[in-house]
Structure 1
Amino acid sequence: MATSVCPYAMDLTGSDLAGEAALLRRDGPASRVLLPGGVTAWAVTRHDTAKRLLSDPAISKDASLHWPSLKDGRIDDDWPLHHWVTAKNMLSAYGAEHTRLRRLIAGAFTHRRSEALRPQVVQHTAALLESLAQRPGDEPVDLIADFALELPIQVICELFGVSEAERPQLRHGLSESFRTSATAEEVRAAQESLHQVLAELVAAKRLAPADDLASALVWTRETDGARLTEQELVDTLLLMIGAGHETTVNLLGNAIVELLSHPDQLEQVVHGATGWDAVIEETLRARGPAAYVPLRFAVQDIDLGEHVVIRQGDPVLISFAAAGLDPEQHGPDAHEFQVARPNRHDHLAFGHGVHYCPGASLARLEAAVALPALFARFPRMRLARAVQDLEPTPSFITNGFREIPILLDPESAA
């Protein structure tokens, strides 16, 4: 085995997702890996295998149906990733149940609906940039905390009617839930906090419905309870708010770092030789904002070739970010960020098949508004720290940076 040890112990801190993926990719179409609590799974890092499995009905997201270890009680809430496999929403559903749950929110995230949000995205972007402009140009600011995080959390919280007062608790709970090095106790505390704030949100919308998606879901629950249980309501809100901002945070942050690290490519974009859509798609391909999303399960034995057979009931991890770096799909320079790459659209950053991310159009819209506005407002900004010294998010689920210290105008002190 290329990894030398089988199963390979996953780096729970996500310190080098790309390097780890390259290591696993050499093993074959899938590699045996070790997750927290001694759980073994198959990791898929090749583009062709990932795409095949993402659209194969022989792979399920429903652990309650298709993971013997959960059904038999060997996996309980002492497992740090328990919440990823027991939530009752479309992310963890299979077949007709998935279709039912997805249909409830699909209409809210069409391309047309996303475009209707453009004025709000423009407004929020302008306000954040104005706030940044008040800071000394030669003192570092964190573009994660002060820009890349703020924009999507404002947009998604307004969309779902989450008040300003509720957002800090929501933000902290989501951050802890994505931190895969967290203990089971830390994750349970985070999940309890999240469910508390969302239960209070649901109660508030019952008393005073508004023109937002949380009110719409509550209305669905109240008028047709057979279509949406109380747990499904809360867990759907958790999924949509969490996924609706986390992916965009990393998309913005990763694009900013890549452009500042490649000034020649930034110049092409700024002068119109390459479009901002190319920046967005190449970032999604080469620096995909989501890595692994636990877990999928084999409904039956699946023969992947090369003497690799996933047995019925085996857990499967598919890396969306790793698929974008597969040299078999994107060429020997797949690891390089190139905005002029001709096949940059051929990525799996938002998934594939029935679980394709419904918020993809909104994430692209936010990036398409925010990135050109940021670079136009601060054309001389520079990284305040070498790229290799930037800390990744402490997770093998998300693929981004904890902070991006920037000098907005390093020449202003001269």
Structure 2
Amino acid sequence: MTSTPLDLAALGEDFARDPYPVYEQLRAQGPVHRVWMPEGAEVWLVVGHEQARAALTDPRLSKQWRNAAEDFPIKSPSGSHMMNSDAPQHTRLRKLVAREFTSRRIESMRASVQKLTDELLDRMLDAGQDRADLVDDFSFPLPMAVICELLGVPFLDQAEVRRWADAAISSPDPAERRAAAQDAARFISRLIEVKRGQPGDDLLSALIKVTDEEGDRLSGDELMGTVFLLIVAGHETTTNLIGNGVFALLTHPDQLELLRSDLSLIDNAVEEMLRYDGAVESATFRFATEPIELGGHLVRPGDAVMVDLNSANRDRTRFADPDRFDIRRATAGHIAFGHGIHHCLGAPLARMEARIAIRSLLERCPGLELDVHPDHVRWRHGILVRGPHHLPVRF
């Protein structure tokens, strides 16, 4: 085990581009390690698959920030939502949201997702060039457009949302994160006010008025937090899933050719993309509420724990030859969308978007390839989300 905390920020661009060799070295030494995050916080990082699943379901590891140590340098984000709640509050919030964010509502959007995908590809291919930035031109605007339709709001200012969402999640500067949270609160407050005055048959209208059998409903703060979660988690997860998945295909030509020759493999291919290089690098903070033994270490009350989902999905004790990208692999057991009560509620929508987007992209762009050397693709820093800033391609 490491004798002193590993400073992840000091690992630089190499770690951002490919963190997996570091995770493999850590797993070889043990499933849990003390690390310094780029934000300046010292946390326990869980890198093993078995220990990750256990930590994600351990009720002694709380998602509520009031259980953080007083000297923890990262401050609680604003808003109350499922991701920063424990049972029974989490159960209540998830039940209220799940009443409206149903599989029927998601499935009803399939034709619309295909239409939005086709429109973005038309625009990209008709631009008079044979190259594009797949993030800016496709993998980011698609989930943003889907969220607009899901919430029933006018076309969002994508540049504004991207700015405060990226800063709120990835900025190592506490002042930038606080400013982004304030910008997000103002933005979402305006959306809710508009929808209160012009309700429709959409998710945001439903969430504003949702009531369960006992008359319970979302408070104003809970509604704000839930909409923030839907916008940020919705676009971050799918944008990075598409970007990471296409990058994996373009850097593994044998798998790209296999998928092109049999597009019925797309469902399993997306699952392997999630396992191989997931969009969510780590689950958000958990805080110990009592002394816990974790991977041979004593975790004290108030200590922060992060579960690295991507490292767990590369653990060779769970997946044979885990660093091999294989779209025919049996992927059952991956935890790319989490595990336990906090398993991502929006996972079915993200999967549907990715399957439609990547299949349509391959059908429309038979000559698709990277327009830069793979080592020149810049990846986002930090260990919360994983994805390229930009993905230059030619077709």
Summarize the Cα distance change of 1:36–1:375 in structure 2 as closer, same or farther, 3 Å threshold.
closer
1:162 corresponds in structure 2 to: 153
Report if aligned partners of 1:297, 1:313 keep a CA contact under 8 Å in 2: yes
String of CA shifts for 1:142-181, please: whole Å, max 9, x gaps: 0011001111111012211232254432222112112243
What amino acid does structure 1 have at the position aligned with 2:324?
A: E
What amino acid does structure 2 have at the position aligned with 1:322?
A: S
Moved more, 112-121 or 397-406: 112-121
Report if aligned partners of 1:180, 1:396 keep a CA contact under 8 Å in 2: no
1:363 corresponds in structure 2 to: 350
Question: What's the secondary structure of 1:345's corresponding residue?
Answer: coil
Distance 1:164 1:308 in 2: 49
> How many angstroms does 1:292 deviate by?
1.7
The yes-or-no answer on 1:112 pairing with 2:112 is: no
Report if aligned partners of 2:83, 2:342 keep a CA contact under 8 Å in 1: yes
What amino acid does structure 2 have at the position aligned with 1:22?
A: E
Distance 2:228 2:154 in 1: 15
> How many angstroms does 1:304 deviate by?
3.1
The yes-or-no answer on 1:329 pairing with 2:330 is: no
Distance 1:37 1:373 in 2: 38
Identity across the alignment (%): 35
Distance 2:112 2:263 in 1: 28
> How many angstroms does 1:300 deviate by?
2.3
2:265 corresponds in structure 1 to: 275
1:340 corresponds in structure 2 to: 328
Q: Which residue of 276, 291, 300 maps to 1:311?
A: 300
What amino acid does structure 2 have at the position aligned with 1:98?
A: H
What amino acid does structure 2 have at the position aligned with 1:153?
A: M
1:68 corresponds in structure 2 to: 69
Report if aligned partners of 1:9, 1:35 keep a CA contact under 8 Å in 2: yes
> How many angstroms does 1:273 deviate by?
7.6
1:175 corresponds in structure 2 to: 166
Distance 1:225 1:394 in 2: 44
> How many angstroms does 1:225 deviate by?
8.9
String of CA shifts for 1:80-127, please: whole Å, max 9, x gaps: x4344x541110000110011111111344433322110110100110
Question: What's the secondary structure of 2:163's corresponding residue?
Answer: helix
Report if aligned partners of 2:259, 2:266 keep a CA contact under 8 Å in 1: yes
Question: What's the secondary structure of 2:388's corresponding residue?
Answer: coil
1:377-392 alignment to 2 at 5 Å?
377-392=364-379
Distance 1:259 1:103 in 2: 37
Report if aligned partners of 2:168, 2:181 keep a CA contact under 8 Å in 1: yes
Moved more, 154-163 or 107-116: 107-116
> How many angstroms does 1:135 deviate by?
2.6
> How many angstroms does 1:26 deviate by?
3.0
Distance 2:219 2:196 in 1: 15
The yes-or-no answer on 1:351 pairing with 2:331 is: no
The yes-or-no answer on 1:215 pairing with 2:217 is: no
2:4 corresponds in structure 1 to: 6
The yes-or-no answer on 1:28 pairing with 2:21 is: no
Q: Which residue of 50, 53, 60 maps to 2:52?
A: 50
What amino acid does structure 1 have at the position aligned with 2:363?
A: A
1:127 corresponds in structure 2 to: 119
Report if aligned partners of 1:301, 1:309 keep a CA contact under 8 Å in 2: yes
Question: What's the secondary structure of 1:276's corresponding residue?
Answer: helix
String of CA shifts for 1:156-208, please: whole Å, max 9, x gaps: 12211232254432222112112243x12211221111110100111112222
2:388 corresponds in structure 1 to: 401
Distance 1:336 1:211 in 2: 45
Q: Which residue of 284, 288, 311 maps to 2:278?
A: 288
2:180 corresponds in structure 1 to: 190
Distance 2:40 2:324 in 1: 34
1:412 corresponds in structure 2 to: none
The yes-or-no answer on 1:100 pairing with 2:92 is: yes
Report if aligned partners of 2:56, 2:338 keep a CA contact under 8 Å in 1: yes
Number of residue pairs aligned between Structure 1 and Structure 2 = 391
Summarize the Cα distance change of 1:405–1:313 in structure 2 as closer, same or farther, 3 Å threshold.
same
TM-score computed with the length of structure 1 as normaliser: 0.88
Gapped runs of 5+ residues in structure 2? none
Question: What's the secondary structure of 1:227's corresponding residue?
Answer: coil
Question: What's the secondary structure of 1:32's corresponding residue?
Answer: strand
Report if aligned partners of 1:276, 1:372 keep a CA contact under 8 Å in 2: yes
2:20 corresponds in structure 1 to: 18
> How many angstroms does 1:382 deviate by?
1.1
Report if aligned partners of 1:17, 1:396 keep a CA contact under 8 Å in 2: no
Summarize the Cα distance change of 1:239–1:165 in structure 2 as closer, same or farther, 3 Å threshold.
closer
